[in-house]
Amino acid sequence: MKFFDVRSPWFRPMWRRILVFGVTAAWSVFELVNGNPGWALLFGAAAAWLAWQFFFVFDQAD
């Protein structure tokens, strides 16, 4: 089992993928608004990676 296993069956429902991505992206914006560009960059990068994994290369059959 990998630490960041986005291929987990738990992520099969679309609403879960949207929720996890949305919380991560919203937290990035929250950090940016509060003047923490380092944390905003970290969470923004995580949100971008999740978007790629969940919406572009995700395979329901896995």
Comparing 6-10, 26-30, 33-37, the range with the smallest average pLDDT is 6-10
What does the alpha-carbon distance between residue 3 and residue 38 come to, in Å, rounded to a whole number?
A: 23
Tell me what pLDDT residue 61 has: 66
The token duo for 20 is 């996890």
Does 9 map to a domain? no
Residue range of the domain that includes 36: 15-56
- Token pair 């919406």 in the structure block, residue: 55
- Residues 18-34: tens digit of each pLDDT: 999 999 999 999 999 99
Does 2 map to a domain? no
Structural domain count of the chain: 1
Q: pTM, whole model, 2 decimals?
A: 0.86
Does 22 map to a domain? yes
What does the alpha-carbon distance between residue 5 and residue 35 come to, in Å, rounded to a whole number?
A: 31
What does the alpha-carbon distance between residue 62 and residue 52 come to, in Å, rounded to a whole number?
A: 16
- Residues 49-58: tens digit of each pLDDT: 999 999 998 7
Tell me what pLDDT residue 57 has: 87
- Contact 52/24 with Cβ under 8 angstroms? no
What does the alpha-carbon distance between residue 15 and residue 18 come to, in Å, rounded to a whole number?
A: 5
